[in-house]
Amino acid sequence: MRLTDEQLAHFDENGYVLVKGVFDPEADIDPVIEEYKGVLDNLAHDLSDAGDITSLYEELPFAERLIAIYQESGKVHAQYFDFSLPQGGVKPDTPFWAGPAVFRMLTNESLLDAAESIIGGEIYSNPVQHVRLKPPEHLTPVNQETGRVQLGKTPVHQDHGVVRVEADETQMLTVWFPLMDVTVENGCLCVWPGSHKRGLLDHCHTKLGIAVPGKLLQGKAVPMIMEKGDALLMHKQTLHASYANTSDKVRWSFDLRYNPIGQATGRPSFPGFVARSRQYPETILREPAEWETLWRETRDHMARVEDMSSFHRWTEDNPVCA
């Protein structure tokens, strides 16, 4: 889906554009939902074998089963579903999911058409990427040390702020989309229009994660209410956050990045791949199994070799955060 001149102008002026109907809900998104049913089943059996849950909850629909498993085990098992690895402490058996339905979403032609409108036809799938299944906060296990839910709202940040310095010149594009309708109630994103024009802002270490302090915010956030099939494209310096999920349903989304081939990803330890190349189509990664192998080999390497470099550029004693 190519962006119109009006959409491109909106992106340039505001740092984001919400594009309706990028995906076919049934043909594109439903296979991902079906694939993740198997991932949840794997988690249930692993926890049952370990004695962490007393039931597999097989009679429940996906979302209710996820909530029940998280509640009984007392832990959010987000890593089981993610198609990325933790930033540290990787072990030989650290779980992740890089299945074929997920790969097909990362390489969806309509999505890549939209990305090409902004970053050109030589497109690299940046490995700064996540799936997020956020249960209602009132049904989510609490961190006993902090008293906060283990997976709650996302604090205000810029995606530029979570990559390393070598990606400062990278034309990184964020593509965020829900696998369901999202509203303020169930935790949609909100963005600060035009905030990308301010450049990279300082981020602070908080209990919710790395975040831009409130004293640096200007203007009001706009909620991104979206339907299943829509996609939100954002500049890497656009301020954004998510609302808390106060509904009774799981909020489910993909958070992807793309950049022109040859530019630094900001996560050199993680594997990206050529998603589209008009000049050299033979370099495109087309097989889901090859993508899964890249992540498996990365996990094996990271389990053997500790990466001592930091993923974040700001230290906890940043004077802006005082």
Task: Tally the C-alpha atoms within 13 A of residue 244's C-alpha that lie toward its C-beta.
Answer: 10
Q: What is the pLDDT of residue 169?
A: 96
Q: Would you say the C-alpha torsion 205, 209, 212, 215 has a positive or negative sign?
A: negative
Q: What is the pLDDT of residue 251?
A: 96
Rounded-to-integer distance, Cα 154 and Cα 243, Å = 7
User: Mean pLDDT across the stretch 202-223?
Assistant: 89
At a CB cut-off of 8 Å and minimum separation 6, what does 49 contact? none
Q: What is the pLDDT of residue 115?
A: 98
Q: Which tokens is 237 given?
A: 């310096």
Q: What is the pLDDT of residue 21?
A: 97
**30 pLDDT more than 60:** yes
Task: Please report where in the chains the tokens 């990325």 appear, as a residue.
Answer: 84
Confidence of residue 308 (pLDDT cuts 50, 70, 90): low
Q: pLDDT > 70: what percent of the chain?
A: 97
**200 pLDDT more than 70:** yes
pLDDT digits (tens, 9 = 90+) for 234-289: 999 999 999 999 999 999 999 999 999 999 999 999 999 999 999 999 999 999 99
200 burial level (CB within 10 Å; 0-12, 13-18, 19+)? middle
Q: What is the pLDDT of residue 311?
A: 66
The 3-state DSSP class for residue 310 equals coil
Q: pLDDT > 90: what percent of the chain?
A: 84
Q: Would you say the C-alpha torsion 146, 151, 314, 192 has a positive or negative sign?
A: negative
The three-point CA angle 296-98-140 to 5° equals 110
Q: Would you say the C-alpha torsion 75, 79, 80, 82 has a positive or negative sign?
A: positive
Q: What is the mean pLDDT of the chain?
A: 94
Encoded amino acid at 134, one letter: K
The dihedrals phi and psi of 48, each to the nearest 5 degrees, come to -65, -45
The dihedrals phi and psi of 205, each to the nearest 5 degrees, come to -85, 120
pLDDT digits (tens, 9 = 90+) for 102-151: 999 999 999 999 999 999 999 999 999 999 999 999 989 887 777 677 78
Confidence of residue 76 (pLDDT cuts 50, 70, 90): very high
Domain residue limits, the chain: 5-24+99-306
Q: What is the pLDDT of residue 290?
A: 98
Task: Please report where in the chains the tokens 């109907």 appear, as a residue.
Answer: 21
CA dihedral 133→128→189→209, nearest 10 degrees, is: 80
User: Among 44, 102, 103, which residue's Cα sits nearest to residue 77?
Assistant: 44
Helix pair angle (30-49, 62-73), 10° resolution: 30
Lowest mean pLDDT among 60-69, 137-146, 154-163: 137-146
Give the CATH superfamily of 5-24+99-306: q2cbj1_9rhob like domain (2.60.120.620)
